[in-house]
Amino acid sequence: MHIHILGICGTFMGGLAVLAKEAGHRVTGCDANVYPPMSTQLEAQGIELITGYGPEQVELKPDLYVIGNVVTRGNPLIEEIMNRGLPFVSGPQWIGDHILKDKWVLAVAGTHGKTTTTAMLTWILEDAGYAPGFLIGGVPKNFGVSARMQGDKDSIFFVIEADEYDTAFFDKRSKFVHYHAKTAILNNLEYDHADIFPDLGAIETQFHHLVRTVPGIGRVIFNGDEAALQRVLKRGCWSEKESFGRGEDADWALNEYDDGTFDVMFNGEVAGHVEWSLTGKHNRANALAAIAAARHVGVPVAQAAKSLATFESVKRRMEVRGVVNDITVYDDFAHHPTAIATTVGGLRQKIGKDKRILAVLEPRSNTMKLGTMKDALPGSLSDADLVFGYGSEQALGWNLGQALSPMGDIASAYEDIDALVAAVAKAAQPGDQIIVMSNGGFGGVHDKILKALA
Is position 116 annotated in a ligand binding site?
yes
β-bridge partners, 439: none
- 115 labelled binding-site residue: yes
Among 184, 164, 127, 154, smallest CA distance to 12 is for 164
Taking a C-beta distance cutoff of 8 angstroms, is the pair 161, 108 a contact?
Answer: yes
Q: 322 forms bridges with which residues in the sheet?
A: 329
Instruction: Confirm whether residue 101 is marked as ligand binding.
Output: no
Instruction: Tell me: is residue 114 an annotated ligand-binding position.
Output: yes
Nearest one of 133, 108, 288, 113 to 184, comparing CA atoms: 108
Helix-helix angle 91-98:11-22, to 10 degrees: 30
Do residues 38 and 10 touch, judged by C-beta distance below 8 A? Answer: yes
**Is 72 known to sit in a ligand binding site?**
no
360, 437 in Cβ contact below 8 A?
A: yes
C-alpha 293/C-alpha 300 separation (Å) is 11
Using alpha carbons only, give the angle 365, 369, 370 rounded to the nearest 5 degrees.
120
Q: By the 8 A CB rule, do 295 and 251 touch?
A: no
SS3 call for 413? strand
Q: Are 223 and 246 in contact (CB under 8 A)?
A: no
Q: Which residues of 54-74 are buried (b: 16+ CB within 10 A; e: fewer)?
A: eeebbeeebebbbbbbbbeee
Distance between CA atoms of residues 336 and 341, nearest Å: 9
CA–CA gap between residue 369 and residue 346 (Å, rounded): 25
Q: Is 293 helix (H, G, I), strand (E, B) or coil?
A: helix
Instruction: Please tell me the distance from the alpha carbon of residue 55 to that of residue 193, in angstroms, as a whole number.
Output: 30
Closest to 207 measured CA to CA, from 168, 165, 239, 242: 165
- Which residues are part of a known binding site? 110-116
- Which residues are part of a known binding site for ATP? 110-116
